[in-house]
Structure formats: structure tokens, C-alpha cells
Amino acid sequence: MRTETSSGKLDTIVIGWGKGGKTLAGALARAGEKVAIVEQSAQMYGGTCINIGCVPTKALIHDAEQHVEGIPASQKFDNAVQRRDDLTALLRAKNYSMLNDLDSVLVLTGRASFTGPKSIKVRTEEEELELSAARIIINTGAQPAVPQIPGASIGGRVHDSTTIQHAPLPKSLVVVGGGYVGVEFASVFGQFGSKVTVLDRGKRALSKEDADVASEVQSCLEDAGVTILSKAQVTGISQDSSCATVSFEIGGEPRQISADAVLIALGRTPATRELNLEAAGIRSGERGEIMVDEFLATSAEGVYALGDVTGGAQFTYVSLDDHRVLANHLLGDGTRSTKDRVAVPYTIFCTPPLSRVGLSEDQARKQGLSIKTAVKKVAAVAAMPRPKIVGDPRGIIKFVVNAQDDQILGAALMHVDSQEVINLVALAMRQGMAASQLRDQIFTHPSSTEALNEVLGELR
């Protein structure tokens, strides 16, 4: 084992190249620290988002939405996968150089595990190194969850959200899970021409959304040829050279469905299993998530954790905000914390995309709040021509507003450009803007944003 690196004594070790970790590594290095960043695979420089998550999947979604005559579906899919690969390779190289080009950063490719509170070992292809630093930051992210279902191991015709991206375009696909990941992949493969069936164990898919919003999503999925079966409890998966078969029950009645491929989309779990957290005295939860305080400190002094590995909201932009919190703690006045976050939006990139921020109507009513709502189908919004211009007027817009002080409690936007408009709504909520103030803003025309003028004018 080697105990020193070519960079000399280290100030900080970052384990994992996620958004928060890589950004913080650069900030600390530019502030004069000697930093090592460890990534287990050269194919993951830059983290999940640019390699197997947000960017590549959204590239596939974009290409699935392009309707080009005269190209077989399989060729269209292969072209999309190639473009995806070219894009991720470009971004991966850029992310690598952003840190590797800094003289005070040591980049290591290998698997890290703790040997003590301030020390790790790194197994590379050539050797095993031992490193220590005054500070260690864990940013290993999350990985697809594999359920305890017979035959659910990934391989052959059974895929997770990573392997399905390079599988041959299936003529038929079964998606196990009707959550956000399952819905996105059902939408993309449906538009590429696959016959998709979603098996969801809940009463309905997207159970965290209001029923009217979820219904609109389901309608658009059905437009793409997707079938959703609710209350479906999967009991087993089998495969042979010709197909994969999923066994499930609905209301106690056993059923089976066969397809070219199966996608298991049942969420993601924190990637901590190989870190040997116990050696450093780092507390973790039932799902392996690292327990942190509002300043992202773990139970081990000098050890911090950022992003998905903490078990919170699994969004790249939350990981980036984790970087802001910790950078403020280490390099600033230390006043910023995760408790400062309000109105954090998200988008499900089905077609058209569904974006939401704050409380749903169901959530607001369960809290006993006095509310007003405004709901309108996009096709019925007269002052919103852009979706009609681009040829997709489907969707729904819904606002939930406090009836006592006119504060926006939440919004669900499903329409063309919703992933952009939701950021404006979230900003208005953070700034305490009343619904009537947002309603009366001046927006460009023709745009999707101007729907806010009309929809907020119908609050009841």
C-alpha cells in the first residue's frame, strides 16, 4: 500500500463524482486545498446525471418525440442511442478535465472504502492505495433498487434503468413500477414503438399526484400505446431465449404477461454497501442512507455526505445545493443549511412533461389548510397558444393557493415547456409572491408562461 500521493498531504478526499462532490472539490482546490477525488469507474466521471441519468435519458426522450417518416423504429432508436453516447462521452471528458487539469487535484479511478475515521483504501486496477485527509466527503449517489422477487436479478432480458438504455429496442416491454422512473421509460419506449405494459402495485400510477393530474398523465401514456395495470403485485420473473415472463396478481387472481424485455423501475437506494461505514463510525439508516445534520455532517467528525447518498430528494440540483451548503460551512460564514430550502420543484419527463412544486391538493387538505384551487386543461387555455403551435396541446395546469393570504402552496403543470415554467412558479413561492401578483405579471407571447395569467384568474 502507498500512504502518500504525488500531490503530497491531502486536505480533503471526495468519494464519488456526483454533482455536489465534483463542484465542491473544484471550489476547495481553487481555495488552496489539496484534494483527491475517487470515482469507481472511468465511465462515471461527472456522476450519474450526465452518464446514465438525467442527460442521456432526456436525450432519448427528445429523440423519441421526433416523428420522422421512412425510418424503421429500430433504426430511430439506434440513432438515438448513438447520439446519447456521443453526448455523454463529450460531457464525461469535460467533467474529467475540469478537475484533472487543476494542479492541486488528484483523480483516482477505483473503489474506496473506509479504514478509519479519516482514512480510506482505494482499489484501482493496478494497486491498492491508502489515503488519509483532515476531511472526507461522501458523494457516491444511489443505484437502482432490485426487489426481493424471484427472478428479478438484472441480466439477459431483465433490465434496470441503466442497462435498458443500451438494450435492443424491444417490440414489447413490461415495466415493473408506476413511479416517476417507470413512467418516463414507459413514455419513451412507447413513442419509439414498443408495446409497453406498466405493472403498478398501487391503486393507481403516480399515487403521490392528485387524481386529476395523474389521470392526465395516464391519458398521454395511452396515446403512446402504454397500458397501465394498477393493484398489480409482481410475484416472479422468468426468462428464456425467446421472451421474459412476469407473474403477478390483481385482486388475488394470478396472471402472466410475456415480453421481449422487462424493466424493473422501483426506485433507487443509496450506494453505501461497499464503503465500510462502520470503520469510520458513520451512522446509516435502514436503506443504507448516510445520516447527516442540516450542515451535511455525519456522525464522524470531519466526514460529510452530499446528494442522493443521504436518502433525501434524488435530484442533481439538490446535490448542487448541498455543495452550496457545505461550501458555505467550510469556506464561508457557516450560516447556510439544508433547512433553508423551500419550494423545490421537480419534473417527470413524460410527453408532455409533468412538473410540480409544493403541495398537491390532497396534501393541502390532509394538513387541514383552507385552500383555493384553479384547474384547467391546456387545450382549453385560450391565452396559451404555444402548445398548439408546436403541435401538442395536451396536459393540465393546477394551482393550490392558501385561501386566507393568497400565498401559492403548490402547482402541477403538465404541458409543453413545463420544466421551465415551474422554475418561475417556485421562485414566486420562495419570494412570497401572492397568486394575484403572479397572475398579473407581463409574460412574452406566444409562450407557455402566459398560461399563468389565465389559469390563476380562475382561482375558486
Residue at 31: amino acid letter = A
Name the binding residues.
58, 177-184, 267, 308
Residue 26 vs residues 20, 139, 183, 201, 363: alpha-carbon distances, Å: 10, 14, 35, 43, 40
What is the sign of the dihedral through the CA atoms of 12, 17, 20 and 23? positive
Residue pair 394/388 in contact (Cβ under 8 Å)? The answer is no
Q: Where are the beta strands (DSSP E) in 104-161?
A: 105-109, 111-116, 119-123, 128-138, 142-144, 158-159
What the block records as the C-alpha cell of 7 is 500531490
What the block records as the C-alpha cell of 447 is 409562450
Selected catalytic residue, list 62, 67, 323, 445:
445
What is the bridge-based pairing of β-strands 408-414 and 396-402? antiparallel
What's the distance, CA 437 to chain centroid? 31
Measure the CA–CA gap between 379 and 402, rounded to whole angstroms.
26
Who's near 46: CB < 8 A, 6+ residues apart? 17, 22, 91, 92, 94, 95, 96
Measure the CA–CA gap between 354 and 413, rounded to whole angstroms.
6
Name the binding residues for FAD.
58, 308
Measure the CA–CA gap between 205 and 265, rounded to whole angstroms.
12
Give me Rg for the CA atoms of the chain.
24
Report the helix count and the strand count for the chain, using DSSP H and E: 12, 22
Which among 42, 20, 211, 212 has a CA at the least distance from the CA of 124? 42
In the annotation, is 67 catalytic? Answer: no
Residue 43 vs residues 82, 96, 265, 380: alpha-carbon distances, Å: 16, 10, 22, 46
Identify the burial level of 267 via C-beta atoms within 10 angstroms of its C-beta, where 0-12 means exposed, 13-18 middle and 19 or more buried: middle
Who's near 222: CB < 8 A, 6+ residues apart? 228
What the block records as the C-alpha cell of 285 is 439508516
- Which residues are catalytically annotated? 445
